[in-house]
Structure 1
Amino acid sequence: MTSSLRTDYTLIPNQRYRRSYRNSSKFSNTQDTDSSSQSTLGNFRTLPLEIFHIVLQYLPVKDISMLSMVSKTISNRLINYISTPTGNKRLLVQNFHNSELSVCRMGFSILEHYRCLGLLLKRCTFLLPTKERLKYIQKIFAEVSCFKLNGCMDPLHCSGLLCYGVFLQTLTAGWDELECHRVYNFLCDISNLSRRVQTVVSSKPGSARKLELRIRIFCRNVLLNHWIHKGDSAFWLSRILKPWPMVNQARLLYIIFGPACTLDGHVIWHKMIDGPTDETNLKGLADAIKLLYDIEAKEWTADDVISLVDELSVVPREWLLENSARLLILCGNNICFTFMASKAVNGRAIELARLVVFLALVCEKDLYCMDWAVKMMQKVCKVFSSPGERNNFLQSVENTFAQIIMDALQSVISGVHEEEDSSFLNLFHLVNAQANFHKEILYLTMDNSL
């Protein structure tokens, strides 16, 4: 619609059209010869290009980054320098396989070097569209095999993807979500990430161990580990998980954050099935779940996260309830209550009763306050729609305690025990868990009646 009013001021173009005016620069190696370009070089205009490049050899990357902001002409010269074999060799430090992160020539760590390099390329390519920036950077990094998902022969002991992740975090810091979507799609294209994820989530767990390891390292070191704000971490984790159905999301979450062997890095698929595990094997999964449940994770509802937790507890087969209970405790009060309330609402009182018993067992074993488990059960009781349902649930809790203790006692009586056998210790913890659980209920009852 055309307005009939005349305006005597200059209209500011809508921001979404701004990129159409950017100079794509083509990254040519031609020298700046026109007078306007020469005037912006300052004292550097008296130096031949070769001498200018020699000067750059002695400057820290951080100082070169500051220099790139002097003028567009200087920035273009720096872009050309980075593309030369000399500049490429100077800037792309590739000492990735030391036992400790190596120290660069200028005296700081290789991670800090790539953080400064990210800032340099962020400033040099500032006027370019996102697509052109990414193409240019990929052209520079194309020959570095350790920056590729499947490029390094020893990814477990290589800091290449870690450096690449630090570089990308610095480059993309402050970019809007649309541009970050483009970055993720670009990374998927050059690494074939989607096809490789499809392979591991549709194969038998552990049948592609090397590929599982590479996907784990790539996702953590490049996309997830370097962000300060939860919203950024949730965004990138969502990019990894959201394209897949829930069952594949759970499998992928386990590949990235589940327990892994300290010797070869391979995912330990049977860890949650064979026996009780400790917090160290569950903390990564719990932190990821909390990240998705956080209010800053805009793409996830509470129901989505609870469904993911439910699906995760059967990867690759149904977990021991003790491990599921320990995961819920690590996820925090809100997620634990929401998960339990979901079972109460959906008529799964017997499953809920068993979960309460194992929450009490974990509190006993891991030295958490038992009153937490009692108060969580009390809170869940309020979810039931009728006193009858609530009473049936409480009866199920008592029956479950009795049944599990009897099973443990039977195992102690009938089993042939070796030195490392844990049957008796498990029975000991169960009896103490029941006693302490009921003690807290008595305290709560007495306090309310007085």
Structure 2
Amino acid sequence: MAFSSRSTFTIIPNPKFKRSKRHLAVSAFENPDSADVSTLGHFRILPIEIFHILLQYLSVEEISIMSMVSKAINGQLVSYISSQAGYRRLLCQDFHCAGFVEVRREATIVQHYRALGLLFKRCTLLLPTRERLKYIHNTISEILTAGWDELECHRVYIFLCTLNNLPRKMQSVVNSKPGSSYKMELHVRLFCRHVLLDHWTNRSDSAFWITRLLKPWPIVSQARLLYILFGPVSALDGYISWLKMTEDFADENALKGLADTLKLLYATVSKEWTDDDVISLVDELSVVPHDWLIENSARLLILCGSNICFSYMASKAVNGRTADLARMVVYLALVCEKDLYCMDWAVKIMQRICNVFNTQQERKTFLQNIENSFARVIMDKLQSVMSGERNDEGGRFLNLFHLINAQANFHKEILYMALSSPSAREKT
């Protein structure tokens, strides 16, 4: 009988053992009076340190699945996540790239934090949303909410704004002189990009968070904030390059982030963004902090795609800004020539714009303005080459060379289009 008693001691509570304090404890989230500790199964006899060592051999996904086994197991996993061992195991220290220069994070890091976000969601499933956020923030500085419904995501955003005083920081950077608070600008950019924006693969999720950031502000401030978040940065120190668009030619890489965000908002199926809202945002963006070089504006429109480019230019046609519109067509052709885009794209945009005008006379005036703009821009470039500094003669001459080629290829595409039309073939 004595042997029999010893053979079953594992299922008999023995509160007299001193080491019992090191056994797995009931979760702090449970009611001690109603807790069913038997759901721990064989794990109940293990010291907490041994249980944590066992968890080291499980992946984040496996721990996440284990958290749904029972309420008691869930509580032990919450305890593990809050421990030093769990912190060192689960939280990668290189989530943000070191230094100011933004480098794309490895996919494995992003996948790890997505799995971690799901683990936190499951571990805190029985808590109210506010309590879930408090617990998660105390454990991890970046909150990942993949799979949460929109109402909870709204609460997440409000929680983050309150916790980090984000609205005050954003107000500071959008109201101050560009570049005067360069460290604060970079802080807002990195926080919003790395915590709220960059890790999403679903376009609707990205649109949700960028909308939360932009919509509380008037359109002028939206454009300023959009530039802070996605505009070009200096290659030397990583700070926002405010004069890049106004004093120098920006390449595709400098404008891609802005263009992708504008396309995302334009394609968003939501009452929060209309086509007119996005076009107004493009218009305001082109004067941040001052008027952009027209070539930079044209390159942004090309990167935004045909729909945004046409809508933007059609709004100018409706408002009677024919001269500005014709000059933009010239620079669309120039960018297509420089960046090796198909020139027929610029010609088709011009053709669609012609259909916006109501009368034949308005179309003729628009086409005449395009030809006059080509002539004026070429003369300006030629004068710049003749009077330019010796050190920059090569760049100025190359720009003139591209412009002349752009004019030739633009008119060539028009001739192809005219000769391939049914009416032209009938006449021949």
TM category (shorter chain) comes to 0.7 to 0.9
Superposed displacement of residue 217, structure 1: 1.0
* Shift in alpha-carbon separation, 1:436–1:111, aligned structure 2, 3 A: closer
Counterpart position of 1:363:
336
Counterpart position of 1:311:
284
Structure 1: gaps of 5 or more residues: 1-26, 101-107, 142-146, 148-163
Q: Are 1:246 and 1:308, in contact at CA under 8 Å, matched by a contact in 2?
A: yes
- The answer to whether 1:240 aligns with 2:213 is yes
Counterpart position of 2:181:
208
Q: Which residues in structure 2 correspond to 1:159-308 (within 5 Å)?
A: 164=142, 168-169=143-144, 172-308=145-281
RMSD: 2.4
* Shift in alpha-carbon separation, 1:259–1:98, aligned structure 2, 3 A: closer
| Alignment equivalent of 1:392, drawn from 334, 342, 365 | 365
* Shift in alpha-carbon separation, 1:59–1:307, aligned structure 2, 3 A: same
Counterpart position of 2:11:
none
Superposed displacement of residue 178, structure 1: 1.0
Counterpart position of 1:15:
none
Q: Which residues in structure 2 correspond to 1:32-431 (within 5 Å)?
A: 37-94=36-93, 111-141=110-140, 147=141, 164=142, 168-169=143-144, 172-418=145-391, 421-431=394-404
Q: What secondary structure is seen at the aligned counterpart in 2 of 1:40?
A: helix
Superposed displacement of residue 55, structure 1: 3.5
Q: Are 2:279 and 2:311, in contact at CA under 8 Å, matched by a contact in 1?
A: yes
Q: Distance in 1 between matches of 2:84 and 2:274?
A: 50
Question: Match of 1:372, as an amino acid?
Answer: W
Question: Match of 1:331, as an amino acid?
Answer: C
Q: Distance in 2 between matches of 1:349 and 1:419?
A: 33
C-alpha distance after superposition, 1:176-203 (max 9, x if no partner): 1111010011111111111001010001
**Total equivalences in the alignment:** 391
* Shift in alpha-carbon separation, 1:45–1:366, aligned structure 2, 3 A: same
* Shift in alpha-carbon separation, 1:409–1:60, aligned structure 2, 3 A: closer
Q: Distance in 1 between matches of 2:288 and 2:296?
A: 12
Q: Distance in 1 between matches of 2:357 and 2:29?
A: 76
Counterpart position of 2:412:
439
Q: Distance in 2 between matches of 1:368 and 1:31?
A: 63
Q: Identity of paired residues, percent?
A: 64
C-alpha distance after superposition, 1:309-357 (max 9, x if no partner): 0000000000011110010000001001101111111111111011011
Q: Distance in 2 between matches of 1:397 and 1:98?
A: 47
* Shift in alpha-carbon separation, 1:88–1:368, aligned structure 2, 3 A: closer
Superposed displacement of residue 416, structure 1: 3.8
Q: Distance in 2 between matches of 1:30 and 1:271?
A: 54
Q: Are 2:27 and 2:72, in contact at CA under 8 Å, matched by a contact in 1?
A: no
Which of structures 1 and 2 has the bigger CA Rg? 2
Q: Are 2:110 and 2:199, in contact at CA under 8 Å, matched by a contact in 1?
A: no
> Please, which moves more after superposition, 414-423 or 75-84?
414-423
Q: Distance in 1 between matches of 2:381 and 2:94?
A: 55
Q: Are 2:385 and 2:393, in contact at CA under 8 Å, matched by a contact in 1?
A: no
Superposed displacement of residue 33, structure 1: 6.0
Q: Distance in 2 between matches of 1:31 and 1:379?
A: 66
Counterpart position of 1:10:
none
Q: Distance in 2 between matches of 1:413 and 1:112?
A: 56
C-alpha distance after superposition, 1:43-62 (max 9, x if no partner): 22333445434443554433
* Shift in alpha-carbon separation, 1:77–1:396, aligned structure 2, 3 A: same
Q: Distance in 2 between matches of 1:60 and 1:336?
A: 47
Superposed displacement of residue 412, structure 1: 2.1
Q: Distance in 2 between matches of 1:309 and 1:139?
A: 39
Q: What secondary structure is seen at the aligned counterpart in 2 of 1:385?
A: coil
Structure 2: gaps of 5 or more residues: 1-25, 100-106
Q: Distance in 2 between matches of 1:413 and 1:113?
A: 58
Q: Are 1:32 and 1:38, in contact at CA under 8 Å, matched by a contact in 2?
A: no
Superposed displacement of residue 371, structure 1: 1.3
Q: Distance in 2 between matches of 1:46 and 1:201?
A: 59
